[in-house]
């Protein structure tokens, strides 16, 4: 009996030693939060959205980030680009305050969007000198400005997690593959934009050699392309996207070989921040777990960071007198909503097309929906309203085009329109035109008669479209091109001042729009992921 008791005691003493020697190490959990923004478009301060609610602003985003940090979570803050262009703040300050506010907010990395190029590479290089975080773009090869090639990296590796127990996250950046067709050619004609999939095949082996714990794609490719890459590259733990301004809520979380994978977009203008709460388990074959995911509204329920709020207000005071000056009055809401001007006829699209036709007389005027960046509320129209609607420095052009080339343009619009988020090249048309997309080919009438292939027509449009922008190559077939030297915002301002009061309507100029596509989600979305708690 004593002998059996001795064996039992020996087993009790030695078993833990044996298990410790031959069992795998216990899992070690590292918890952190990912916050993601995209397409803020120079909305530095809070603003009233289409629902009349005061939202957004870097002061509110910064305070929300700080509230998570104060609750004990480490934060990885990321941007998918298009921080520039969209309000009068960019026109006056050229994106430098945007970068400075991002520094103060604590961004870990940002990828370039297409609108970062709207004022040329020199202006971009100047603004980026203020950035204290990595700027990413793996699928661009810069040639003209060495400073850009040195400053902008294909990827970075950031550390996140509690002090002494951080994990390493590799972050790759991508710009739109069609960059050269959606930016003024003069700004993008001297560098190379590469295929996103080929770029990932190039850099992923190099990144894996660095042995990061997670790999994220910070993308401005647009949702449809991001979904393709999500399915093609299962080694990507997540894709944080932008460009199509989609508010994906809840974010798409699926189960992969390493645990959870995820992809999302946070909408536009800083109205929402995407948040993922992540637990990473060291020594596990399936280390990634998303414990909560959702879009957090940047609304008045969240306070603002006082220093940033004060700084934004000082910037506002510098330009206030210039932008609040009244121009005219509108009796109706002027609809420049992104989802509508890129898909259907709107009264603001009609007003702009009629303005351009009046200011530069022609048979037809055409305006791309992607060039209309804001709505105008009923009542007084200010200088700031005009600059927000037409923030780009586009010039009006008068083209002479054959009916056959015009038909080609509208056929291209139809072919490109079935994309998630709408097509930036969707054309709003001037009075007297009617476009019907219900048949196999668009049917175009001018003053009640079909346009003739062989007849020539004068067309007023913007220089961006005249150069084949948005992939509408039919414009480049013009037999005559006349540069007017008139800027779109200046002429719209003049037109409104002359009219004093406007009340445009939707007039069935576009009878039936091309078929649009609702965005798809990846296969196998996990529906049990809870929303994050507001800290």
Give the span between the Cα atoms of 127 and 100, in whole angstroms. 9
User: What tokens appear for 331 in the block?
Assistant: 């009796």
> What pLDDT was estimated at residue 514?
64
DSSP alpha helices (H): ranges in 215-323? 223-232, 306-323
| Residues 76 and 33 sit within 8 Å (Cβ to Cβ) | yes
Q: Which of 119, 121, 54 is nearest to 93 (CA)?
A: 119
> What pLDDT was estimated at residue 10?
46
- pLDDT tier at 242, thresholds 50, 70, 90: very high
Displacement of CA 18 from its chain's centroid (Å) = 55
> What pLDDT was estimated at residue 26?
57
pLDDT digits (tens, 9 = 90+) for 128-184: 999 999 999 999 998 878 778 889 999 999 999 998 899 999 999 999 999 999 998
Give the span between the Cα atoms of 209 and 211, in whole angstroms. 5
Span 301-309, average pLDDT: 96
| Residues 124 and 150 sit within 8 Å (Cβ to Cβ) | no
Whether the pLDDT of residue 18 is over 90: the answer is no
Whether the pLDDT of residue 13 is over 70: the answer is no
> What pLDDT was estimated at residue 145?
81
pTM: 0.90
For residue 205, what is the DSSP state?
H
With a CB cutoff of 8 Å and minimum separation 6, the contacts of 175 are: 81, 111, 112, 113, 114, 137, 139, 140, 193, 220, 221
pLDDT digits (tens, 9 = 90+) for 193-208: 999 999 999 999 999 9
Whether the pLDDT of residue 15 is over 90: the answer is no
**Least confident span in 12-16, 84-88, 426-430, 471-475:** 12-16
Q: Of all residues in the chain, what percent carry a pLDDT higher than 90?
A: 86
What is each CA distance from 391 to 86, 155, 254, 341, 422, in whole angstroms? 6, 31, 39, 16, 20
Whether the pLDDT of residue 99 is over 90: the answer is yes
First to last CA, the chain: 61
Whether the pLDDT of residue 124 is over 50: the answer is yes
Give the span between the Cα atoms of 473 and 478, in whole angstroms. 10
Q: How many other C-beta atoms lie within 10 A of the C-beta of residue 515?
A: 9
Greater confidence (14 vs 159) lies with: 159
| Residues 41 and 81 sit within 8 Å (Cβ to Cβ) | no
Helix 196-209 × helix 223-232 angle, to 10°: 50
> What pLDDT was estimated at residue 309?
97
> What pLDDT was estimated at residue 1?
47
For residue 193, which phi and psi values (nearest 5 degrees)?
-105, 125
pLDDT digits (tens, 9 = 90+) for 30-74: 999 999 999 999 999 999 988 889 999 999 999 999 999 999 999
Greater confidence (183 vs 16) lies with: 183
Span 500-527, average pLDDT: 88
Burial of 186 (0-12, 13-18, 19+ CB in 10 A): exposed
Whether the pLDDT of residue 6 is over 70: the answer is no
User: What tokens appear for 491 in the block?
Assistant: 């002429």
Whether the pLDDT of residue 314 is over 60: the answer is yes
> What pLDDT was estimated at residue 135?
98
- pLDDT tier at 288, thresholds 50, 70, 90: very high
Span 206-213, average pLDDT: 97
Q: Enumerate domains of the chain plus CATH numbers.
A: 28-308 (3.60.21.10), 324-512 (3.90.780.10)
Helix 121-128 × helix 96-105 angle, to 10°: 30
| Residues 75 and 67 sit within 8 Å (Cβ to Cβ) | no
User: What tokens appear for 79 in the block?
Assistant: 């941007």
Give the span between the Cα atoms of 256 and 288, in whole angstroms. 9
Whether the pLDDT of residue 5 is over 50: the answer is no
| Residues 237 and 288 sit within 8 Å (Cβ to Cβ) | yes
pLDDT digits (tens, 9 = 90+) for 342-388: 999 999 999 999 999 999 999 999 999 999 999 999 999 999 999 99
How much is the mean pLDDT over the chain?
A: 92
**Least confident span in 59-68, 84-93, 414-423, 442-451:** 414-423
With a CB cutoff of 8 Å and minimum separation 6, the contacts of 208 are: 235
> What pLDDT was estimated at residue 256?
96
> What pLDDT was estimated at residue 422?
86
> What pLDDT was estimated at residue 7?
52
> What pLDDT was estimated at residue 117?
95
> What pLDDT was estimated at residue 419?
77
């Amino acid at each position: 009996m004593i002998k059996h008791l001795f064996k039992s005691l020996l087993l009790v003493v030695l078993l833990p030693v044996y298990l410790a020697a031959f069992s795998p190490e216990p899992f070690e959990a590292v918890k952190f939060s990912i916050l993601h923004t995209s397409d803020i478009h120079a909305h530095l301060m809070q603003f009233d959205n289409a629902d009349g609610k005061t939202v957004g602003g870097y002061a509110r985003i910064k305070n929300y980030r700080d509230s998570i940090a104060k609750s004990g979570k480490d934060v990885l803050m990321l941007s998918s680009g298009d921080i520039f262009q969209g309000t009068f703040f960019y026109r006056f300050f050229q994106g430098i305050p945007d970068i400075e506010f991002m520094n103060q907010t604590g961004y870990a990395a940002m990828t370039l969007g297409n609108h970062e190029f709207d004022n040329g590479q020199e202006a971009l290089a100047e603004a980026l000198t203020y950035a204290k975080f990595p700027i990413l773009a793996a699928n661009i090869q810069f040639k003209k400005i060495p400073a850009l090639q040195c400053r902008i990296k294909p990827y970075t590796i950031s550390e996140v997690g509690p002090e002494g127990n951080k994990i390493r996250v590799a972050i790759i950046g991508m710009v739109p593959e069609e960059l050269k067709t959606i930016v003024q050619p003069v700004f993008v004609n001297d560098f190379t934009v590469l295929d996103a999939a080929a770029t990932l095949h190039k850099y992923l082996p190099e990144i894996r050699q660095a042995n990061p714990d997670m790999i994220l794609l910070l993308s401005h490719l647009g949702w449809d392309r991001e979904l393709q890459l999500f399915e093609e590259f299962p080694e990507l733990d997540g894709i944080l996207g932008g460009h199509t301004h989609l508010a994906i809520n809840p974010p798409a979380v699926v189960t992969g070989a390493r645990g959870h994978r995820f992809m999302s977009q946070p909408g536009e203008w800083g109205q929402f921040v995407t948040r993922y709460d992540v637990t990473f388990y060291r020594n596990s074959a399936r280390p990634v777990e998303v414990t909560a995911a959702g879009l957090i509204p940047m609304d008045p329920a969240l306070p603002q960071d006082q220093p940033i709020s004060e700084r934004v207000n000082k910037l506002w005071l510098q330009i206030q007198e210039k932008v609040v000056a009244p121009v005219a009055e509108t009796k109706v809401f002027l609809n420049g909503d992104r989802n509508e001007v890129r898909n259907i006829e709107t009264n603001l699209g009609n007003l702009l097309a009629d303005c351009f036709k009046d200011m530069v007389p022609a048979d037809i005027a055409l305006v791309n929906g992607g060039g209309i960046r804001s709505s105008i509320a009923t009542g007084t129209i200010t200088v700031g309203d005009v600059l927000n609607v037409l923030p780009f420095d586009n010039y009006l052009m008068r083209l002479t085009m054959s009916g056959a080339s015009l038909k080609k343009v509208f056929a291209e619009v139809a072919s490109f329109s079935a994309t998630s988020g709408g097509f930036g090249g969707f054309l709003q048309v001037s009075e007297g035109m009617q476009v019907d997309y219900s048949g196999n080919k668009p049917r175009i009438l001018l003053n009640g008669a079909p346009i003739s292939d062989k007849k020539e027509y004068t067309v007023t449009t913007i220089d961006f479209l005249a150069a084949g922008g948005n992939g509408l190559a039919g414009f480049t077939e013009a037999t005559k091109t006349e540069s007017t030297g008139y800027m779109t915002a200046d002429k719209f301002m003049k037109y409104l001042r002359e009219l004093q009061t406007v009340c445009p309507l939707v007039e069935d100029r576009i009878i039936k729009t091309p078929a649009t596509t609702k965005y798809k989600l990846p296969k196998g979305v996990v529906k049990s992921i809870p929303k994050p708690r507001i800290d």
